[in-house]
Structure formats: structure tokens, C-alpha cells
Structure 1
Amino acid sequence: MAPYEPEKDTSEAADLRVGRRKAARYAVPIAVAGVAAATIGLVPALATSGDPDLPKVTAQELIEKIAASDTQQLSGNVKISTDLGLPSIGGMTGGFGGGGGGADRGEDGEGKGSAADPKGKLMELASGTHTLRVAADGPDRQKVSVLEDAAEYSVIHNGDDMWAYDSASNEAYHAKDAGKGGAAERHGKGGRDVPEGMPATPKEFAEQALKAADGTTSVTVDGTAQVAGRDAYRLVIKPKQSGSTVGRITVAVDEKTGTPLKFTLTPASGGAAVVDAGFTKVDFGKPSASTFDFTPPKGAKVTEADEHAAKGRDFKEKAGKGGAGGKEFGEGDLNGMNVIGKGWGSIAELKLPGGKGLPKAGSGDVPQDAQKLLDSLGDQVEGRFGSGTIFSTRLVNALITDDGTVYVGAVTKDALVKAADAAH
């Protein structure tokens, strides 16, 4: 179906920015994981038998509809698929019951993390296809369950408590005062002990995309769709700038409530979507109060968040005596970040510690097999900056130069090389 109106030009940019700023203030208070994350092409379960016939709206009107939406109660199933062109992260993090949730592991298990720790568990959503069962009842009660063939992993926020439970390992993770200060600051917005900024619902994906939309962006309404049995408009967001790896972002917006029901990010290179997240079933009624009740099953190992954090600090301090300084990655390991460019073409520039790039063949810095693996993962490039290695996904590329400078962004390889050349 043809777009309802032509691409917005710069004369309308101010009006669009106002609507986008309003839209960014609203978020469904559910989170499962941050980048993050991303999905594969259109999911058959979300397909429709025909596009509904709805009243025409402009992009500005549809953005304002999203901004005006104040959905506080819902339940349903969400399918999230990611195709970054990387090996499955699930195998790297241990999978369900694999104990991959905790990153801090010392000798004799000291500092060992909980298999139910959301920081590790929910990163599994960054690869493959997953089905989530979600429920929300205002800002104080949310639940997200990741469903697998033989296991279920749930994060439950109910008032001052945040619980995470992994049925495969029969382990639970508990954070108190989840809705207040103190622990709320330690465990993220709304008391969520999950990677910050990792969206869980189509609305959260959409809001992150809208925040990036400005004069560098085309925003149009491109027909209608039906998602999870509900009529929706398709909002299409495209970069106007060259050099971005993002082709288009399509958001299906519920015609009645203004709630985004589906989010799809297609790369500029074409093919299957990098991110596809959408409801397969949704109900905007009030979930049962029992949905958010949780008591650890008999025999479950329970890890308290504060106790877990204390053990991790003790382990880091001991490791620091051996020369690591007891710092976590990011605490002094990387020098200050500089952002080159703007909009979709933004590139982050930062320095690796020690002013050195990756190990080179024959240097003896890493075992020979490890060196071969490292060399096979990247492409060697040269320019005015010298030489370096580019590591690529279908969305994000990173250049690490021999002098230890890192350039990373959702841009093409050529854009990274040009940025590195311009900095020298």
C-alpha cells in the first residue's frame, strides 16, 4: 500500500521533534534485557489475512497518538527474534540452567554469580528467537517470563520486591526495595537488575527509535496492518543520511490505544530484519493480582542482590591485589568517549588501555590458536590512521586501530575508516 503522505521535509522537522519528545516520555514499565537487542524477519505468527481499512492519519498525528497513549495495564505474549549475524549468545552464557547469569567467578566458587541473575540471563535475548509472556499493572507490578521448551525464566517486580527465577536450575534472585531509592539506583530504573537500556516490548523499542529521529530522519505512515488480532497503522522511520547500516524501522501502532504492537528494524544491506519484536497475543485488561505473586519453590537456592554484590566486590578487591586494581570493565579501563557526527551516522571514539591495539600475528601476546581465531573474525584495513581491524555485525561495526583507538557505530565499514582518517 502506498504511503499516506510524502516524506517529511525540513520545514516540518520542528513539529515532528515536538511530537517525538512527547512520545519519548512514555514507556511500558517492563524490561527484560537492553541493546539492546534485535530480531529476525517478519514472524509468521504475526502475519495478517489482510490490511484493515482505517481512517488516514499523518506521521505527526500518529506520533502524537503514541505520546498520548498511557497504557498501564496489559498482558500477552511477545515474540522477539534477533539476527545480528553472530553466533548464539545463549551458548556463551550457559543457557538456561547453565549458571551463566553471574560473571564474577573466583576460586572455589567465591564471587560466583546466580544462575537467576537477570544481568546474564536476559542477555540471551540478544540472539535467536524467544517467546516472552508479559504482564503489567502500573509502575509497581510487572512480570516478564522467557519461555523455553523445558524451562521458564521469570522476572517479577511487585512493589518493593524484585524476584528472578530460573526453573531449570531452581535458583532465585531477590532484590529488596525495588521501587524506592537505594536499591532502585543499584538495580536500575524501576528496581530492575538488568542491563540498562535493554528494551523488552515493542513500545520500548519504538521509543528508542523515536529519540533518534530528528532532521536527519524521514518519518511516514505506510499503510496498515493487523497485529495480534488488532488493527494498527505502520509508522516507518528511515535515515536520510548515507553511511548508516539501518535501512528502515517499522512500528505497528494500535489504532485504538496508540500502543506500539510490533517493532521491526531492517538493515540497509537488505535481507531478514535484524530486530523483530511483536505481540502475538495482547489483552489490555487488568491482570490478576496473583500474576505478580512469587514465593521461591521448596529447595530453591536464593541469592540476595546485596549479598551477591558484596561477594563480587570482595572478589574484585582480591583480584586487584594481583594487579587488576579491583576495577570493573569501564572503570578506568577505557578512556573518555568522544562522539563523531550526529544522528544515524554517529560514531563513538574511545581509547583502549595501554595505547595498544589487538595482538598481531607473531607477537606472542596470545596463543597461536587464539590468534588465528582473532584474525578470522575481523577484516584488516589501512588508511591515514595506520592499520587496524574491523569487526562487523549486520547492524553495528567496530574498528580497532593498532594504536588502541576504537571507532564503533551503526555505520558502514567505509564510514569508520573515514572517521579514523579524519581524526588523524
Structure 2
Amino acid sequence: MAASPSTARAINDRLALRLLQREGPLTAGRLKQLTGLSRPTVADLVERLTAAGLVAVVGEAGEQRRGPNAKLYGIVAGRAHLAALDVRTEGVAVVVSDLVGEVLAESSVPITGEAGTGPAVERAVALVERTVKEAGADRLHTVGIGAPGLIDPASGALRDSTGLPEWHRHLVDALQERLPEARVSVENETNLAALAEQRDGAAGDRDTFVLLWLGHGTGAAVILDGALRRGASGGTGEIGFLPVPGTDGLPSATDCAGGFHSLVGAAAVAELAAEHGLVTAAAADPAAAEAVRAAAREAGPASAGARFLDALADRIVVGVASVVALLDPGCVVLGGEVGQAGGEALASRVRDRLAVVSPLPTEVRASALGGGAVLRGALLTARDRAQDELFGSPVPWCSDPAG
């Protein structure tokens, strides 16, 4: 059945906006070439989008061209402003961007466990408000939040999790109260990191892969056939609780100590580095990533750094082999600060060990985004939600849309 005129217009408008978002400013002639639409149809849609405040003339195609056909049309970046938050156990980072994703302001603030729930929430909300002001934005259209812990798949809310600060759960409600016009949503940090690695990082050519997060916490995100998999309770990827050999016991329902996390969490990695004489203390999380980075940079065949990376790879492959045996993803990205710090030196070691214990061919890649992947993923999802609302609901890609 043929699409109605209004449906056809909506499809064409959406197609043009997505092209402008992906390619940048375009002339009407170039839009005609890329969409396959007729010249009058392109002229009509440009007029509609301009009248709606979504598109504006941003320049001309070249010095030798003048007139209507030379006008460059681009998305009105200031049509909406977005915020992304990376909420950690020890603080919050925030960025504010325009509708096309250009970062206008960013900031972070440490928040210690001694602050108390109310003061911690207030400090985080104040950071967002201050960053919005610095960006020159009047208000926010969409706020995307990445946080550790489980997200309830039914309500989209952050579930109560033992070991995580109480203020995490109250932050979403506080932001919604202080920013009543904004659309606020929260997603697991590792899931956001995987989406960012797929869009802008190490998994850009993969529609099926697993991201193994190696940082303060330990987690995994599963992308199968282009879709993020969350599981029945939102707990897909809670690999830190995986019972593994080499620990002092078994994890419990409320504590991942004794699970895979006890082998590859930042504290365990820092302790392993201390055992190899690479750091003098194993207290702070940055010590883990810095030790891995230094070892990867200077790892001669018989050096302490090489022995440390070998030992770390022996630990990591235990979890990776389990994931591969269950999911056969074809690709595992070592993410988080530690995964990025290890680079190819660590990834190649895990890859070699995996080839010995698993019959399934699997690439092992180092993160391209590291700890910044969470914030990037939160910003990308916020931008997608805002554009979906402002541009209209998504439509399938069509090489010959009605027109």
C-alpha cells in the first residue's frame, strides 16, 4: 500500500535530516543526489524544515557559485541542548553539547562517601546547572546518565545495589525535579561504553561483540546483531560475579568479592603490579591503569612489565573464555581505563591465550576510548533521543523514498 502524502513527507524529512546530521551541511542539489528525490520535493522539504527551525542556511558551497543552488543547509545546532553524565562511586563528570553533539562545556567534581546522600546529590546537580550556564544554554532538552549498577528493564530506573552510594539512585529524581522540561534517562555505564566503542571506537566494524570493562568495577556489555542485550532483569554482563578459579572463595548475591572482579578489578590489578615491583602502593585506582600503561610501553621480553602483563592476561582470559564459550561474539573489546592502557600489548596476550583454550575464533581488541567511553556513550544516546523527538520517529533507510 502506498504511503500517504503526509507519511511520505515525514519519511523524506527524516531522511534529509539524517543525511545532514551524518554528512554535515549540504546543498539542495547534493540532497537531491543523496536521496534520489525530485528537485521540487527537495525544495519543499527544505522549506518545511527551515520553517520548523530545524534547518538553516549556514553558508555557500564555494566562491565560484552564487544563488539559491549554492546555499548550504545545516541542522540548527542550537535548537536543543543536551547533557551527559558519568556517575562514578567517587564523583561525577558532565558535558553539555548542542543538537549535533559539539561539546560546549564540560566539568567534573569529586564526591566522597562521607558527604552524605543529600549533600552529594546537591553537589552533583549544582555541577550540571553550572556547566549548562557555562555552555550558554537556557535549558536542557535531554539528559543521559551513565551509572554503575543494574537498570530495571521495566521502569528504566537504577536499582538499589549493595556497595554503590545511595546518592546515585536519588540523583535521577533530583535532576528531573530541578530540570522539569528535560527528558532524563539512566543506563548502565558499561552498556554506554559499548555503544560508544561501536559508534566511535574499537568496534566500529562489528555488529556483534562483547565489551569487557576493566576499571574500578568489572562488567561486560553484550551487543548481538546490532542490539544491546540487557537480560530479563537488566543484569546481562554482570561478569564480576562470575565464579572463577584463583580467588579466595565464591561471590555472593550482594558482593562480587571472590568472583572474576577479584582477579581483574582495579584494586587487584594494582596489587598484582605491586607484586611485580611496578608500583609501591596498591591503594588508588589510577595506579592500576598507570602500571598497565607503563608495562605496555616498556615491556621487553624478560622485563618485569612483560611478566606483569603475562600474569594479568592469564587472569583476564579466564573471564573472556567464559564469555566466548557462551556467546561466540567473534570480538571482545578490553574496555575501561585498564583495557585502554594495556593497548595491543595486553590485547595480544589475551588473544594468544584465548586461542589455546577456546576453539572459537575471536578477535581481542583494546579500547579506543577507555574511561571516556561512558560519557561519550551517554552523550550519543542523549543526542539520538533528542533527534528522534525533534526529527520524528525513526524510519527505515530508503534509497528511493517517495517523492
**TM-score, L = length of structure 1:** 0.23
Higher helix share: 2
Higher Cα Rg, which structure? 2
**TM-score, L = length of structure 2:** 0.24
Higher strand share: 1
